[in-house]
Amino acid sequence: MSKHDKIRELLALAAADVLTSAEEMQVAEHVRSCIACSNELEAWRPIASGLRRLPTPQSSSWLVQATLARAEAKLAEQAEHDWNRRVMIAVVAFAWLLTIASWPVFHFVSGRFGSLLEPQFSHTQFSNTLFSNTWISFTAFTALEWLAGGVAAVMLAIRLRGERRLA
Ligand SMILES: [Zn+2]
C-alpha cells in the first residue's frame, strides 16, 4: 500500500480529529505535497464538524436541516420561475394593449401626412395596394410598439426585481 493510499484512508478520521498525534503529523505532512488528499481533507471537514456539533439524541437534525435548506432553495427557485412567467405575460398584454390603443391615432396621423406629402400617389392608388400599404405600416407600427412596450416592461421588471431583492 502506497503512502498516498494509507493517508487517504485516514482523511475522514483526520477531519473528525480522532487520529493519534503521530498519524496526524503524517497526514499533515502528506497533504502539503498531495493536492488530491488536501482537497479530500477539505471536503471532509464541514461534514465532520457538522457531525461533531450534533446533540446526541437528535441525530437526524443535521439531515432535517439540510433537507429543509434544499426545499427552501427549490421553493425560491419555483417562485422566481413563476414570477418570470407572470412578467412575460404582463409584457405581452401590455404591448398588445399599447398597440390596439394607439393604432387608430397612428393611422390617422400617418394617413394625413401621407396624403399631404404624396397627394397624387394616394389618388391614383389601387385599393389593393392601399390595403397592403396599410398592412405594411401596421406591421412596422406593431413591431415598434412591441419594442417600446417590451423595453418599458423589462425596465420595470428589473426595477421590481431589485426592490424584491432588497425586501
Ligand atoms: Zn495523497
Is residue 81 pLDDT above 60, yes or no? yes
pTM greater than 0.75 (yes/no):
no
The most confident of the ranges 16-20, 36-40, 62-66, 102-106 is 36-40
Distance 119 CA to ligand 1 centre (A): 88
What is Dmax (Cα atoms) for the chain? 103
3-state SS assignment for residue 54: coil
> CA 117, CA 111: separation in Å to the nearest integer?
10
DSSP structural state of residue 19: S
* CA angle in degrees (0–180, nearest 5) for 49-50-56: 105
Count CB neighbours of 125 within 10 A: 13
Under 8 Å between Cβ of 95 and 145: yes
Alpha helices in 59-126 (DSSP H): 61-117, 119-124
Distance (angstroms) between ligand 1 centre and the Cα of 4 equals: 4
- Rounded Cα distance between 49 and 69, Å, is 18
| Residue 112 CA, ligand 1 centroid: distance in Å | 83
Single out the residue of 3, 1, 4 nearest to residue 39, CA to CA: 4
Question: Please, is 41 exposed, middle or buried when counting C-beta atoms within 10 Å of its C-beta (0-12, 13-18, 19+)?
Answer: buried
More confident residue, 44 or 117: 44
For the record, the C-alpha cell of 138 comes out as 401596421
Whether residue 30 is predicted with pLDDT greater than 90 in this model: the reply is yes
Centre of ligand 1 from the C-alpha of residue 49, in Å = 22
C-alpha cell recorded at residue 50:
457538522
For the ranges 12-21, 33-42, 58-67, 112-121, the maximum mean pLDDT occurs at 33-42
Give the whole-angstrom CA distance, residue 155 versus residue 142.
20
Q: Distance, CA 7 to ligand 1 centroid (Å)?
A: 6
Q: Which residue has the higher pLDDT, 67 or 35?
A: 35
With 60 as the cut, is the pLDDT of residue 121 above it?
no
